[in-house]
């Protein structure tokens, strides 16, 4: 995601849940992007870099290519809201997610199987770590991916690996997500960028 900004006026207000967050969004300008992180509204700064968008687009396309033949009941989508039942104060907007082709939920997908974040310069390690841990708490989530846009590096955190992270850095490294029939070289995620 892009740079983040918190609301100073919200510091002494009790944590928000989804219902209060949706009410809050009604009063916001249409061009503002917000997510709810542990009960606190966080404004996502615009615009994401073109490289950020390209990396997210590459991942979405590669995932959908794999899903088309192996899991046609699922879709990869970009920049959508997610819901984690165990965390009512957590309603993020993820860069790429795999969700049901016929999703449940209106504003936030209630089931997701993969969540991926493309890092920006303003993402703090604590912010990304919180999101990664919350995504992993969703009972259906199988993988969390963290993709750098400053160097060629992808972290893959998987339920099947006890949520231990693996880091891929070589252009020839192969990332395999067997549940989705997905396999690509690291360079494929950075295609059409200076990191390819």
Whether residue 18 is found in the same domain as residue 73: no
pLDDT of 47 reads 75
Dist. CA 52–CA 38, nearest whole Å: 25
Q: CB atoms < 10 A from the CB of 84, how many?
A: 21
Whether residue 104 is found in the same domain as residue 38: no
Whether residue 28 is found in the same domain as residue 124: no
Whether residue 11 is found in the same domain as residue 98: no
Domain assignment present for 100: yes
Residue range of the domain that includes 114 = 50-189
Which residues partner with 40 through β-bridges? Answer: 37
Whether residue 165 is found in the same domain as residue 120: yes
Whether residue 39 is found in the same domain as residue 69: no
Q: Rounded to whole angstroms, what are the CA distances from 169 to 50, 96, 177?
A: 21, 20, 17
User: Per-residue pLDDT for the chain (196 aa), expressed as one digit of tens each?
Assistant: 444 555 555 556 678 877 777 777 777 777 777 777 887 877 776 678 899 999 999 999 999 999 999 999 999 999 999 999 999 888 888 999 999 999 887 788 999 999 999 998 767 888 899 999 999 999 999 999 999 999 999 999 999 999 999 999 999 999 999 999 999 999 999 999 999 8
Size of the chain in residues:
196
Given a contact cutoff of 8 angstroms between Cβ atoms, the answer to whether 154 and 146 are in contact is yes
Whether residue 119 is found in the same domain as residue 142: yes
Whether residue 73 is found in the same domain as residue 9: no
Residue 177's Cα: distance from chain center in Å? 16
Instruction: Give the domain CATH number at 142.
Output: 3.90.1570.10
Hey, is 175 helix, strand or coil? strand
Domain assignment present for 194: no
Whether residue 108 is found in the same domain as residue 159: yes
Whether residue 57 is found in the same domain as residue 119: yes
Domain assignment present for 195: no
pTM score, two decimals?
0.85
pLDDT of 1 reads 40
Domain count, the chain: 2
Whether residue 92 is found in the same domain as residue 185: yes
Whether residue 28 is found in the same domain as residue 55: no
Domain assignment present for 124: yes
State which H helix or E strand residue 25 sits in: helix 18-26
pLDDT of 170 reads 97
Q: Residue 106: exposed, middle, or buried by beta-carbon count in 10 A (0-12, 13-18, 19+)?
A: exposed
pLDDT of 17 reads 77
Given a contact cutoff of 8 angstroms between Cβ atoms, the answer to whether 51 and 26 are in contact is no
Strand duo 93-100 + 112-118: pairing: antiparallel
């Amino acid at each position: 995601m892009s740079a983040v900004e918190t609301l100073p006026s919200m510091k002494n207000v009790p944590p928000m849940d989804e219902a209060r967050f949706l009410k809050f969004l009604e009063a916001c300008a249409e061009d503002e992007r917000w997510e709810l992180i542990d009960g606190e509204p966080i404004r996502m700064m615009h615009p994401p870099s073109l490289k950020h968008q390209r990396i997210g687009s590459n991942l979405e396309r590669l995932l959908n290519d794999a899903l088309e033949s192996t899991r046609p009941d699922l879709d990869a989508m970009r920049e959508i809201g997610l819901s984690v039942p165990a965390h009512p104060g957590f309603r993020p907007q993820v860069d790429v997610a795999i969700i049901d082709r016929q999703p449940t939920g209106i504003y936030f997908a209630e089931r997701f199987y993969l969540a991926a974040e493309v890092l920006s310069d303003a993402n703090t390690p604590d912010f990304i770590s919180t999101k990664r841990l919350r995504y992993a708490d969703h009972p259906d989530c199988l993988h969390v991916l963290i993709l750098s846009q400053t160097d060629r590096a992808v972290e893959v955190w998987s339920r099947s690996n006890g949520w231990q992270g693996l880091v891929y850095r070589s252009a020839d490294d192969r990332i395999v997500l067997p549940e989705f029939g997905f396999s690509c070289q690291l360079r494929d995620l950075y295609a059409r960028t200076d990191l390819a």
